[in-house]
Structure 1
Amino acid sequence: MPNLARLSCALLVGALFMLPSLRAAPAAIAPRPALMAPRAASSLMLDVAQVGSGYVAVGERGQILRSADGKKWQQVPVPVRAALTAISFVDARNGWAVGHDAVILSTRNGGASWALQQFEPEIEKPLLDVLFIDGRRGFAVGAFGLFLRTVDGGASWSPVNAPVVDEDELNLHAIVRLGNDDLLIVGEQGRLLLSTDAGRSWSKQVSPMEATVFAAAAYGSSGALICGLRGQAWLSKAVRDGGWQAIATGSGQALHACAVFGRSQALLAGAEGTVLLADLARRQAQRLKSPAAGTWSAIAVGDGSDAAVLAGERGLHLLKRPSGS
């Protein structure tokens, strides 16, 4: 009899599930605040940016940290526990962070506190980068062609209607603003997308890479440096015209981050503790001693400083550039 009772109950539940009018709507997933972790600065960090005279970094489990000097870091409260992948600041006070669960956060006080603008775990697409070109206009890109924009400082976000993005739904890894205000998106399978009208329209560019491009940095008045799988790095002095030239990196490791500084130098970093100093005029790179093992995800080069902050698998580390660089 007990078995018959369980069977009857199962059949009843199944019948109710098949009736849309009686089926309960799935419960909404509520965001949970990030846990404060004593060793957060040594955990996985995915992006770092210079903000004013200091730095802000984001990483796993919703962790956001601030530092005045790149050495000592302090974690701040965050309303979500999803991994945060990227940040963008337009000045010393106003910034945004994005991550898994299509999370978008904003700050109005230099990263001391954060407000939740978007949380959509049901779409199962992480955001991988964010760029604001002023206090109101911004873009966020992510997995499977996820591409959002805002014109009100992030109060509302809407999908970008761009056929060159929608046709393949490839992962979009980074978006940067060039010296002439053009916008460049890089991504899976060497994808390069360019906008010359502040993001209103986008065109596919001929790419020098077939492999995934992970990062990009503005170079000069209208150029860019890009890097990605198998140690590839390429430089163009004018992205609209193409003319990409290879940088001899001497590495086969994936490069996840690049930052241009000075007139023609760059730092590149990636898998297996790879850190490279590139002479862009000569299109050559030399390997530097890594401050820690593991994969690096991001680089922030301080203005007027001989130091840079690396973010990655082993946390946040200050890197002293060689003298004369």
Structure 2
Amino acid sequence: MRWLAKVSDKTYSRNNEKPGTPAHLQHDGAHQMFARYSIFVLFVATTLFNVHFVMAQSKGLLSPLDRPALMVRLPAKSYLLSVAEAGYRLVAVGERGVIVLSDDDGMTWRQAKVPVSVTLTAVQFLTARLGWAVGHYGIVLHTEDGGETWVRQFEGVTAARIVLEAAKIKSKEAGSDGPTNKKALSDAELLVKDGADKPFLDLHFDSAKSGVIVGAYNLILHTEDGGKTWLPWLDRLDNPQNFHLYAIAASGSQLYIAGEKGVLFRSDDCGKSFTRLDTPYKGSYFALSLFPSGEVVVAGLRGNAFRSADQGASWKKIAVAAPISFTAAKLTRKGSLILANQAGQLFMSNDLGVSLKPIHTSPLPPINDLLITQDGALVVVGANGVTRLTIPGDTTSTGVKK
């Protein structure tokens, strides 16, 4: 999901072989032109943002973390990155803190009140009223009224401080791994120095109290009080190069996290410990889905998609017609899987991910996320905001994360 935002996030990497170039695109010739364009756009946007941020600070103006999102004339046409169901309501989030709501299965949309104007990358609702959204600058937002209003729960400066405090404690433990802890402490100190610029990219709450958020540079934190306080889990992942974490999915006590350079982690104990899994592809995974029967599907750059029927012990490639990056995956209520890509194409699997068949629609813009509404329509969000479609076949789906 949210492919464009995720490509951009890597341009300030500390770990790239070629500074300024997304690590997961460096060996990906077909994407170099797009990568260069994305980097240029991001450079200009970031430069302008930082200039305005500094000017705002010097003039005593509110920063984007403190400035409410502007109410726009056509909110449903905003650049949107994620969409979820909140009971019978649809909630989509995107750039500049825009959050839009629909109470008629995506036919019409209105804008919600949001206390920040930073880009929001992912949203999840546990019930019709209880939801969370995450985004750039380490923001975590929370709603208790179905998305009508939101409060700020967490942000990047606090996240960096918490990570640093945990690294300091770990470094003083008797018998701990000296070099590993020394690197973790150094990374945490740099995180604090950088400030609140690291994005969270996905989230998963399994109860009103327990949730996990993941993001750039191996950022992963957990809450047991509904987001009031957070604890870092960075040391639970075998990710010494601090690859980005793009997607998280859960089923029962199992938790999967997919990310940059083909990294994939599985926890069998609700996150107490993680195993790093070997996968056939060393590019980034942006889409991740778990079937109730145990099958796992990961998909990402250049149309690479893989399926495992043994919890990640072995993988089979899913045949795809075009090498175009996958951006989103959702399970339908009938057990089908829908995948979307950066070219606006849609695919469906009715055999637990063994094969994909194209869903023929009119041309669509790049898709960041999708769901199927209660009345069977397909809603996709992306560069052109919200698009509602009617698709053939299995049209009973869910916006609930799987």
Scaled by the length of structure 1, the TM-score of the pair is 0.85
CA contact (8 A) 2:199 2:215 kept: yes
Alpha-carbon distance between aligned partners in 2 of 1:246 and 1:71, rounded to the nearest angstrom: 37
Which of 66, 69, 72 aligns to 2:101? It is 66
Q: Note the 1:1-325 alignment, pairs <5 A.
A: 29=63, 31-68=66-103, 69-120=105-156, 122-178=195-251, 180-239=252-311, 242-281=313-352, 283-290=354-361, 293-302=364-373, 305-323=375-393
SS in structure 1 opposite 2:261?
helix
- Matched letter for residue 109 of structure 1: D
Q: Which residue of 1 aligns with 2:29?
A: none
SS at match of 2:365: coil
Using the alignment, how far apart are the partners of 1:101 and 1:116 within structure 2?
12
Contact between 2:100 and 2:109, CA under 8 Å: does it hold in 1? yes
Aligned-residue offset at 1:265: 2.0
Supply the distance in 2 between the matched residues of 1:110 and 1:274 (Cα, whole angstroms).
30
More strand by share: 1
Q: Distance in 1 between matches of 2:101 and 2:353?
A: 36
> What SS does structure 2 have at the residue aligned with 1:272?
coil
Show structure 2 runs of 5+ residues with no match: 1-59, 158-194, 396-402
Aligned to 2:188: none
Greater RCO, CA 8 A, separation 6+: 2
Q: What is the one-letter code of the residue matched to 1:210?
A: K
TM-score computed with the length of structure 2 as normaliser: 0.69
Larger Rg: 1
1:162-215 Cα distance to aligned partner (Å, 9 max, x none): 35355120010011112x330100000111111111111111012132211001
Question: Structure 1 pair 118/282, CA: closer, same or farther in 2 (3 Å)?
Answer: closer
Equivalent residues of 2:219, 2:234 under 8 A apart: no
Deviations 1:31-85 (A, max 9, x none): 2100011112112100001121221110000011111211211110100000000
Contact 2:297 2:353 in 1 (8 A): no
User: How many residues matched?
Assistant: 297
Q: Give the C-alpha shift of residue 299 in structure 1.
A: 1.3
The whole-number CA distance in structure 2 between the counterparts of 1:165 and 1:109 is 38
- Say which SS state the counterpart of residue 356 (structure 2) adopts: strand
2:343 alignment partner, SS class: helix
Q: Which letter does structure 2 place at the counterpart of 1:78?
A: V
CA deviation map 1:106-136 (0-9, x unaligned): 0011111101001236232111001101011
User: Letter of the aligned partner of 2:139 in structure 1?
Assistant: V
The 8 Å contact of residues 220 and 237 in structure 1, kept in 2 or not, is answered as: no
Which AA in structure 2 matches 1:287? P
Cα distance in structure 2, aligned partners of 1:44 and 1:198:
33
Contact persistence 2:236–2:273 (CA under 8 A): no
The structure-2 alpha-carbon separation of the partners of 1:282 and 1:260, relative to structure 1 and needing over 3 Å to count, comes to closer
Over aligned residue pairs, what C-alpha RMSD do you find?
2.1
Unaligned runs of 5+ in 1: 1-26
- For the 8 Å contact 2:337–2:352, the answer to whether it is kept is no
1:162 is paired with a residue whose SS is helix
Alignment partner, residue 13 of structure 2: none
| Deviation by residue 1:131-164 (Cα, 9 ceiling, x = unmatched) | 1010111111001111111111000122114353
State whether residues 295 and 352 of structure 2, in contact with CA within 8 Å, keep that contact through their aligned partners in structure 1: no
Amino acid at match of 1:51: A
Q: CA deviation at 1:217?
A: 1.5
CA distance in 1, matches of 2:354, 2:107: 31
